[in-house]
Every structure is written in C-alpha cells, then in structure tokens.
Structure 1
C-alpha cells in the first residue's frame, strides 16, 4: 500500500504543480489503485506516471469544486480507450451523478465498461473482506468530505517449522490450524492453533481529507491513522485568510495529526503563492515543529504507508 500524487496544487494549476488528485496504490492487496479527486488535467498526469487506467477500480470525490472534479469526465472517457474494461465505481457528494450524466451525455462520450456512481452523505460507503471506507463531513464553502480507508487485519502466519517438529506434514490439517482450530495428529499429539500462529497483522489506516477549516469532523477520520493526508493551503501567518476561504494552515494540519495520534502526516493542496520547493519548506517546518513526522507531498512521488507496530 502506497500513496502517489498526481496533483498537489490548490485552486488552479501552475507550471510547477497540477490541481488535486491523489492515488492509493493497492497493487499487492487488490492489483488495482484508487483515486481521490480528479482535478482538470489529471489524465495528462496519468500519462506521465507508471499508472494504467485499466487498473483504476474506484474514484472518491471529496467535494464538487472544479479543482477536484473537472478532470473526471475526460478521465472516464479515456479509460475506455486505454483498455479499461473492468467495472469502475465513483463515490461523492450529492450532485455528482447529475454532473457526470450531463457531461458525458452532452459530449456523447461512450463508456464501454460498467460505471456506477454512488452519492453519499457520509458514513460507511464501502466494505468488503479486505477494506472498508468511511466518509465524514468537513467544514468548507460547500459540502466537503474526508475519507478513512481501513485495511482489515490479516490472519497471522503459520510457524511451519514448529508444526513439523510435531511430526505433522503439510496437508488439510494445516488449513484447520490456519483457521484457528486445534488439531490432533495420527500419533495422538494435539497441536494448539494459538501456539503455532503468529499475531494477526494489523491493517493500515489512511485518512484523506478534503478541503476544510479545522473542524470536529476531521478528528474521528484521522484517529490513530497510519497516514493522514491533509491540505495545507497556507502558512500560519495567513491563518485569517485560510479561515475566510475555508481552508487550513500547515500548523493546523499538524495539530490535528498530533491530537489524532497519527503515525505520519503528508501535506498537500498548496496555494499558488508557494511556487517552488524552497517556498514550501517553511510549511513543512511549521508543521514539523508540532508533529515531527511531517512530509510535503510532491507530484509523481510515492510514499509508502508504514504499518504501525503493535503497542504504538
């Protein structure tokens, strides 16, 4: 599981950065990737990346402002031309379905795969055997949502060397042990499953927050997350402007990460006033003074989602 950025700018694209789009790569877990927001030009960013739209399984839209949405119709259309035939689900606030229906119909775009649009108002919006995704309302000029992606715990591994020491050869009884069932060998030796299975592997949690002021809705989504991706549109010297425009500062993002007990913080959604990496570094320093495990997002860069150790 790793995060890959296609766009890290706020509002409008610049020559240095494109508008918002974040990818959660799940190649080992699902052989696919999920996308969060799809600003204008995202499909061009995909062409410059190692991503293939045929592997895109889900898209989550945080809110319906253009810098998070205008790239969606074109990307959906291009996916079909690039060999994407598997079903695709798009999640987002009410109004998303109408936007896509009109855009695709007026442009006579042909979608040669099953496209499902799921509008939501928060809560649990997806769950299967491996993952669940929850959404929560934030505080912005329009309804804006954050998403909490939870990887479910995976069973512990069998200690095959220890099992063989009991004289048990690989076979059906291994499967029972894996399920947590005690077994008895032909020689009458009982093997306790708990003695030969390691602790379950804790699933990781990734929180991706849409545009927002500091608000109560952010904390439940970020609680004990392994990675929090938070907007840092401005430095804290512009806190009043951030509030007026319903955005956050780097310091405010760090305060949330600290309060939530997160493991790592990634800052993104930077104002165009910060045109270079050197100008962005003070934002990281501002946040790191409160939450040291802070990094700056960068386009076409991969950030592994580190698994929290037991007891941390």
Structure 2
C-alpha cells in the first residue's frame, strides 16, 4: 500500500505543483489503484509515473471545485486507449454524474469500458467493497459539499509460526501453505496438525484518511481516528488562521492538531498555496512538526509506503 501524490497545489497549477490528485496504490493487496480527485492535467502527471490508467478501478471525488475535477473527462477518455476495459467506478458529491455525462456527451467521447457513477449522500455513509474493504465518508466544511474519506483495509491473517513447526520436521512444500490457511494436515507418519494452532493473531488492517478541502472541523477527527496515514490540506500558514477560516481552508497548525487529537501515525500535508516557496515551505512543515512531529509536507510525485504494524 502506497500513497503517490500526483498534484499537491491549491487552486491553480504552478511551476512547482499541479492541482489536486492522489493515487492510493493497492497493487499488492488488490492489484488496483484508487484515485482521489482528478484536477486538470492529472493524466499528464500520470505519464511521469509507472501508474497504468487501466489499473485505476475507483475514483473518489472530494468536491466539485474545478481544481479537483477538471482532469476527469480527459482521464476517462484516455483510459479507453490505454488498455482500460474493466469497469471504472466514480464516487463523489451530487452533481458529479451530470459533470461527467455532459462532458462526455458534448465531446463525443466513447468509452471502451463500463462506467458506474455513484453520488454520495450529503450526511455521509459507508461503502463496502470486495474482500472486506470499506470506505467511510463524512462531509467537511468548505462552503460547498466536500467529503473526507476513510479507507479501511480488512484485518490480515496472522503469520505462520514457522519456528514452532520445526519440531515436526515438515519438508518444504505445499504443507506449509495448507497450514497457513488454517487447515488440518496429516503428516506421512500419520500425525495430524491443525494449522489454526500455529497461526499468530490476525494483524489489524491499515487505515488511510484522505480529506478534501476543509476548515478545521470535528468530522476530520472522526475520519482520522487512529489512522495509519492522514492526508490533510495545509493551504495557509499558522499565522493566517482568520484567512483560512474565511476561505474555508486549514492552516498547518490545524492540520497537525487534527493528527495529534486523532492519534494518527503519520500526517501528509498537501493542497499548498503557490505563495509558499523555498524557506516558506520548510516553515509550513516546521509549524506542523511543532504540534505533530511525524508531519511531512509533500511535493508532486512524492511516494510513501504505508507499512503494516
């Protein structure tokens, strides 16, 4: 599981940052990539990575401001020419269906795959996917409806206690696989071994919280509670709290406070205003670290692995 940041800027593209898009790479877990937001030129950003559009199976839109959706029609169209044949699912606030349908209609775009668009209920809810994966979502505070998403991986089976099995002198081969699946196995000498007795406890699945644009608010903390990774906007520096509130955004301090109060493991700051360059960027990160030490101000194309505990 990896976070791959495709666009980390706020509002408009700049020389240093493209507008919002983030790939949650679940290649080892599901052989899929889930995309969160799709700002202008997201498909151009993807060309600079190893991401294959056909691997993108789900797109989650946080809100309908242009810097989060203007790249969507282009990406959907291009996917047809890049080996994308499997169904693609898009989730987002009310209005996302009209935006996509009208864009495709008037551009005469034909998709080579089925497209499923789900408009989410304003109050929030839960999406349940194959193999126990879940995504909870809640509204944030951004002037227009803006969602935050909490992705929950199902618990993982405990590891096989190989050291404890050594006394049985089991040869390498399929027996270990059977035991790891918790099956009962009969050895050549007639003894039976129950794999359930040689499995460590299940490991908790990872939690990734990805928030849309928002003021400092309680729902951010609900979604972020004990997450392994929190992606939170930091459009403004700490001294601009009044401006952040006026424009429905957050400061570096506020993002860090959400991370601290929610007991997350790591905080990734994105949606950075183009006004911040060089030392000013380092100051934003320093401000966050003063409250929550494991804070990282991200740049376009940064990639972070989310380890299992």
Q: TM tier, shorter chain?
A: over 0.9
Change (3 A) 1:187 1:52: closer
Choose 176-185 or 147-156, whichever is displaced more.
176-185
Cα shift at 1:199: 2.6
Cα shift at 1:236: 1.2
Cα shift at 1:163: 3.1
Cα shift at 1:83: 1.9
> How far apart in 2 are the matches of 1:135 and 1:298?
25
Cα shift at 1:247: 0.5
* TM-score (norm. length: structure 2): 0.92
1:266 aligns with 2:277: no
Aligned to 2:295: 294
* TM-score (norm. length: structure 1): 0.92
1:230 aligns with 2:244: no
> How far apart in 2 are the matches of 1:277 and 1:261?
30
> How far apart in 1 are the matches of 2:190 and 2:35?
53
Aligned to 1:142: 144
Say how many residue pairs are matched. 307
Q: Specify every segment of 5 or more residues in structure 1 that has no aligned partner in the other structure, as ranges.
A: none
Task: Please give the per-residue CA displacement for 1:158-207, whole angstroms capped at 9, x wherever unaligned.
Answer: 23453353355678876664454666657565545454112323211110
Q: Specify every segment of 5 or more residues in structure 2 that has no aligned partner in the other structure, as ranges.
A: none
1:105 aligns with 2:97: no
**Which residues in structure 2 correspond to 1:206-245 (within 5 Å)?**
206-245=208-247
> How far apart in 1 are the matches of 2:286 and 2:45?
28
Task: Please give the per-residue CA displacement for 1:263-282, whole angstroms capped at 9, x wherever unaligned.
Answer: 000000011211x2432111
The equivalent position to 1:203 in structure 2, one of 202, 205, 216, is 205
Task: Please give the per-residue CA displacement for 1:73-103, whole angstroms capped at 9, x wherever unaligned.
Answer: 0110011112211211111011110111111
SS in 2 for 1:9: coil
